[in-house]
Homo-oligomer: A and B are copies of this chain.
């Protein structure tokens, strides 16, 4: 029984209300418009996003199974609030999964994709040097880099778990932490070395460098938290 891979392709254009609701709520949670720990009623959400309860409930179910909010029957929904420890655990998961992604990306990315990835880093560099984009780099540029590697792994489930589950939770804290300091420069250098390894098709090295990169990011946040510079 041969199965066509493309059968499980991504959903096409027709956006349904439930999809809109899902996107709205997701960005609202990530950007902090809906604060962690905040308990919020369905009717209030309907009014806020101009929706009816049907699509809204469907979106809430999806958000719940992705771990962005918790729902207690008959008691309402609440945005998840992850502790500092749990954030560290997220980084440990990223270390393992993105290491794999980097290794597979080194084996499977096309030459074109690698060139695009290098071009992306170039634009990041100019942004940092012009000193007006540190926040942007930290927030979106970094996400962009990891996004490309996740999809470049050609591992659909891996990309789905990374992009659909983990990154949203991490980005949720990027918004309020906006950790900068001297990391952007170091992070860019680490990114460059990872891409180099990928360009040389050295999967093992790419995996190692990616793991070390994420481990460094984790330690950076951990340090700031223990110094009291960051509240979570």
* Residues of chain A at the chain B interface (Cβ within 8 Å): 1, 3-5, 7-8, 11-12, 14-16, 18, 36-37, 54, 57-59, 61-62, 64-67, 70-74, 78, 80-83, 85-86, 89-90, 92-93, 95-97, 99-100, 104, 155-158, 160-161, 164-166, 169, 231-232
Inter-subunit contact A71/B11 (CB<8 Å): yes
Inter-subunit contact B93/A157 (CB<8 Å): yes
* Given A14-B73, A89-B157: A3 and B62 interface contact (C-beta under 8 Å): no
Inter-subunit contact B72/A12 (CB<8 Å): yes
When chains A and B are docked, how far (Å) is the Cα of A81 from the Cα of B5? 8
Inter-subunit contact A73/B16 (CB<8 Å): yes
Inter-subunit contact B62/A65 (CB<8 Å): yes
Q: Within the complex, what minimum Cβ distance (angstroms) separates A109 from chain B?
A: 15
When chains A and B are docked, how far (Å) is the Cα of A185 from the Cα of B1? 30
Which residues of B are found within 8 Å of A156, using beta-carbon distances?
A: 86, 89
Inter-subunit contact A89/B155 (CB<8 Å): yes
Across the two chains, which residue of chain B brings its CB closest to A90?
B157
Q: Within the complex, what minimum Cβ distance (angstroms) separates A113 from chain B?
A: 18
When chains A and B are docked, how far (Å) is the Cα of A62 from the Cα of B72? 16
Across the two chains, which residue of chain B brings its CB closest to A101?
B96
